[in-house]
Amino acid sequence: MANHKEYPEIELHRSDTHGNGTLSQKMYKVEVRSSYYDPTVIDNGFVIDFAWRTLPIVRGPSLYGMNVPVANFDRDGVDHGLVSFTAAQAHRWAFLAWLEARQIAGSICIQTRLVQVEFHRTHSIKEIGVSDSFGDALNLRNGVQFNPRNDATTEKPK
């Protein structure tokens, strides 16, 4: 009888919970106001007047013609208008440059500031079920069923 090496199983037997976690980080938003005597309304309806208003920050090219890169781990924050310190600075200066280039009335009176916030994220991943192995195209035609993982037996490949 040959000696076989024992290797640890790569897949955990009971993988109901794949992981969970929480993260807190300082992020920033940009606020804008004006000391100009008349409110300024930009193309998309964004009003700049005496009140501090949050500058909208979105993924990809924004309404103000800028596309500031954001680190992958900061993308959840962008969904809430939050970015890193460096990206917030880039957004504020790009916005001011955009106003100047568009020659928007009162743009010389625009003030910006950064607001620091603490952004909390949590995640939890729980397994719902596993599919049968996809050995042939017939399995795909009949639809995919997901069933709870069966730990009682170790299924050998067919």
Q: What is the pLDDT of residue 138?
A: 57
Closest CA to 114 of 85, 153, 156, 140: 85
Higher pLDDT, 15 or 4: 4
pLDDT reported for residue 121: 86
The pLDDT tens digits of the residues spanning 115-156 come to: 999 999 887 877 777 776 666 555 555 666 777 777 554 555
Please tell me the pTM assigned to this model: 0.66
* Cβ-based neighbours of 37, under 8 Å, separated by 6 or more: 106
Tell me: pLDDT of 2 over 70: no
- Average pLDDT score, the chain: 77
Q: What is the pLDDT of residue 30?
A: 93
Among the listed residues 112, 85, 135, 108, the one whose alpha carbon sits nearest the alpha carbon of residue 30: 112
Query: What is the tens place of the pLDDT at every residue in 81-94?
Result: 899 999 999 989 98
